[in-house]
Structure 1
Amino acid sequence: MSLLADTPFSLLELAPVRQGGTVGATLAHSLRYAQEAERLGFNRFWLAEHHNMEGIASAATAVLIGHIAGGTARIRVGSGGIMLPNHPPLVVAEQFGTLDALYPGRIDLGLGRAPGSDPLTARALRRDERRAEQFPEEVAELQRLLGPRDPAKKVRAIPGEGSGLPIWLLGSSLFSAQLAAARGLPYAFAGHFAPRFVYDAVRLYRSQFQPSAALAKPYVMLGLPLVAAETDEEAAFIGTSSLQRILALMRGEPLWLKPPVQSMDGLWSPAEQASVNAFLGLKVAGGPASLKARLEALVRELEVDELMFTNDLYDEGQRLRALALLMSVKD
C-alpha cells in the first residue's frame, strides 16, 4: 500500500485572478474548484487572507468560507488563515461561530499572526503593529470565547460560545510551532511559500507537544506548492504561470495569474531566479510518478499527518484536472 494512501490531501485557495479576468469569474471558479475537490475526496478547502494585492481575491475570508461551504456538502472549509492581529477576537469568534452554526462540523479556524499585507495596508485595517506580540494572549482569548457556555462572562460570543470550533495555528517559523505545541493545538506549516524552517518547526512542535482537551497527540499539516500534469514536461511548462506570479510578488507588481511561457529566460535575473526557486523550495511538480515519489519522500522525512496544496494554474480546466492527477498518486 502506498505511504500516501492514508494521508489526507487538502487545498489552500488564494482565489488567484487570471490576467484579464474578473473577481466574479474567479470566485465562481473557486466554487467549482471546491466542488471538484469534494467529489474527489479532498479533506479540507481553506481560504487565505490577503489584502491590497491586485490579482488575489481572498480578502474577505469569512465571507468566502460561507460561499464555499454553502455550495458544497461534506468537505471541511476553513481559513488558512485568519490573520488575528487584523481582527478583534470577539469578531472572529462571532463570524466563525455563525459559520459553524450554518455548516455544523465542517468549519476550521486557522490563525496566523502576520498582517497578510504591507505596512500601509495594515494601518488602513486599523491594525496596531504591536498586536502581533500579543498573539498568544489573543489566541487564548479566542479559545475562551469559543469555549463552554458561561452566562457569568461579561463578554460572550453569541453565536460562537460552546461551539468547540477546531482552532489551528499556522506559521512559517518556530514561534507558532512552539505555541501550538504548548497549547495542544494542530499545526500547519506554510511550506508553500516559506520552506526554510520546515524541518526545525515540525521537530520542535512534535518534541514539545502537550496534550490538551482539543488534541491528544500532535498533528502536522504541511502546505506545498503543486504543479500536476500528465507529464513532467507539461508540468514544467504550465508551472511558469506560478513562477511569473512569484516574480511579480518579489518586484511589488500586480499578482495576475499569467499564461505559461516556453521559457523564463529574459524574464528574470539570475538573482531573481534563485529567490523564486528558494520560495518554491518544497514544490511538488511533474507527472503522477514524479509527484508520488516526491510526496512519499516528504511524508517519510517530515512525518506529517496531512498535506495541503496550492494549485495555481492559468488554465481552469488544467487546474481541475490537476486535482484528479494528484489523487491518483494515492493508489
Structure 2
Amino acid sequence: MTLPVSILDLAHIGDDGIAASFAASVELAQKAEGWGYKRIWYAEHHNMASIASSATSVLIAHVAANTSSIRLGAGGIMLPNHSPLQIAEQFGTLETLHPGRIDLGLGRAPGSDQNTMRALRRDPMAADTFPSDVQELQAYFAGATRIPGVNAYPGKDTHVPLYILGSSLFGARLAAALGLPYSFASHFAPQALEDAVKIYRRDFQPSAALAEPYVIAGVNAILADTQEEADALFLTAKRRRVAAMVGGGRKFTDAEADLLLESPAGQQVLNMVRYAAIGTPDTARGYLEDFAKLADADELIVATQVTDRTAWIRSFELLAGAMELVPAG
C-alpha cells in the first residue's frame, strides 16, 4: 500500500506579491490533484510578512473553487483566536460548498506574537479552554450542540472531520482522549515527536469519529533533479530562516548568514528542520520511508522551504513520482 503523502502549503509571499502567492497555491493544488497527493493544508499565521494564509478559510474556499477532488483544509486553525461557533459556520460553509473535501486541523498556539494577540482581541487565557472548545465545535458539526438553542448554520450535521495538531505531549493526550486523528508538527518542532506518537497510540480511545489511531507527521522536503541543486536550495532556505529568526529579518550577505548558522542560536534554528529529505527522488524516498517508520506515521505531510516558484512546484512533482502516488479515481 502506498504511503499517503500530503502538502502543507506555507503560501509564501515573494517579491511578486500576495496575489502571486494565491495564484501559486491554486497552481500547486491543481497539479497536486493530478499527482496523487491526499490533501493540502494551510496554516493560520498572523502579522507575518512572508505568509499569505492568515484568512485560512477564505484561501481554502478559493483553492477549492479552482480544483475538483483533492482534500483541502486548515493545518491549522488556532482555535483560541476564534469562537467555536464562528469556525463551525466557516467550515460548515466550506463543507456544504465542497462536500467530502474539507478538513479542519485545530491548534491551541497563538500563531502570532503578544502584540498581535492583542490586535486579534485574543483572551490570554483562551488556550486553557481548548479541550472544551474542541468538543463544542465537534458538537456543532454533529448537530448536537452543547449550548442550548445555539446551532451553526451552516455547520450543523456537516460532520467536518477534526484533527488535533500539536508539537508537544498535550495535543497527543487530547487527541487520544477524544478519539481524533493527530498531526504532529515535526517539520518545525521535532523534539517530542516519538514520545507524543507513543502516548497517542497507547492512550487512544475509539470514538464515533475514528476507530483506530491515525498519525500524520510533518516533514520537510526539497527535491531537485540533482543533489547539488537540492543542497543549494536548502542552504538558501536555512539562510533565510536564520536571518528571520535570529537576525531580526534584516538583510545579510551569504557569509554573514552562514556565521549566524554556526552560532548557538543558529544551531537551534537548524534543529527545527532536523527532519528533512533533501536530494534527488531516490534519496528522498529512502529518507521519507525511514522517517515514516521512526514517526510511526500513517501519513506524511510535507513542507517545502523553497521560495522560487518553479523549484517549489518541481520539488512536489518529483516527490509524487518518488513516492509513487496514485491520483484518486
TM-score bucket of the superposed structures, by smaller chain = over 0.9
The 2-side partners of 1:285 and 1:326 are apart by 11
Q: Deviation of residue 244 (structure 1)?
A: 2.5
Q: 1:317 aligns with which of 285, 305, 310?
A: 310
Q: Does 1:326 align with 2:323?
A: no
Residue 38 of structure 2 corresponds to which residue in structure 1? 43
C-alpha change, 1:255 and 1:284, in structure 2 (3 Å) is: farther
Q: Distance in 2 between matches of 1:197 and 1:249?
A: 24
Contact 2:12 2:21 in 1 (8 A): yes
Q: Distance in 2 between matches of 1:165 and 1:314?
A: 32
Q: Distance in 2 between matches of 1:15 and 1:255?
A: 21
Unaligned runs of at least 5 residues, structure 1: none
2:4 paired with 1:8: yes
Kindly indicate whether the alpha-carbon contact (under 8 Å) linking 1:183 and 1:212 is maintained by their aligned counterparts in 2. yes
Distance apart, 1:144 and its partner CA = 1.0
Q: Quick one: distance in 2 between partners of 1:22 and 1:185?
A: 37
Match of 1:160 among 155, 164, 167: 155
The aligned counterpart of 1:110 is 105
Stretch moving more, 215-224 or 260-269: 260-269
Which letter maps to 1:145? Y
2:79 pairs with 80, 84, 95, which one? Answer: 84
Shift of 1:267: 5.2
Please name the residue that 1:184 is paired with.
179
Q: Does 1:98 align with 2:83?
A: no
Aligned equivalent of 1:220, options 215, 221, 226: 215
Out of 265, 281, 285, which is 2:278 matched to? 285
Q: State the superposition RMSD in angstroms.
A: 2.2
Please point out which of 220, 227, 231 is paired with 2:226. 231
Could you say what secondary structure the match of 1:116 adopts? coil
State the one-letter code of the partner of 2:130: F
Within 1, Cα distance between the matches of 2:16 and 2:114? 27
1:296 CA drift (Å): 1.2
2:165 counterpart residue number: 170
Q: Distance in 2 between matches of 1:146 and 1:93?
A: 7
Q: 2:290 aligns with which of 267, 287, 297?
A: 297
Counterparts of 1:40 and 1:154, CA distance in 2 = 45
CA shift at 1:273, angstroms? 3.1
**1:180 positional shift:** 0.2
| TM-fit CA distance, 1:265 | 2.9
Amino acid at match of 1:121: T
Q: Which amino acid aligns with 1:305?
A: D
TM-score, normalised relative to structure 1: 0.93
Deviates more, 1:311-320 or 1:107-116: 311-320
Structure 2 residues without counterparts, runs of 5 or longer:
325-329
Conserved? CA contact 1:245–1:255, under 8 Å:
no
Q: Match for 2:168: what amino acid?
A: S
Partners of 1:287 and 1:84 in 2: CA distance: 38
Contact in 2 for aligned 1:53/1:255 (Cα 8 Å): no
**2-structure distance, mates of 1:151, 1:127:** 22
SS, match of residue 307 in structure 2: coil
Alignment partner, residue 327 of structure 2: none
Cα distance in 2 for partners of 1:149, 1:206 equals 28
AA in 2 matched with 1:298: F
Q: Is the 8 A contact 1:90 1:145 kept in 2?
A: yes
Superimposed CA distance per residue, residues 72-99 of structure 1 (whole angstroms, 9 cap, x where no aligned partner): 1000000000000000110000000000
Same amino acid, percent of matched pairs = 46
Deviation at 1:124, TM superposition (A): 0.7
Residue by residue, what CA displacement relative to the aligned partner does 1:191-230 show, whole Å, maximum 9, x if unpaired? Answer: 1110000000010000000000000000000011111112
2: CA distance between counterparts of 1:119 and 1:45? 29
Q: Separation in 2 of the partners of 1:180 and 1:250?
A: 30
The amino acid that maps onto 2:166 is G
Structure 2 partner of 1:307: 300
Q: Separation in 2 of the partners of 1:176 and 1:330?
A: 29
Among residues 141, 154, 167, which one is paired with 2:136 in the alignment? 141
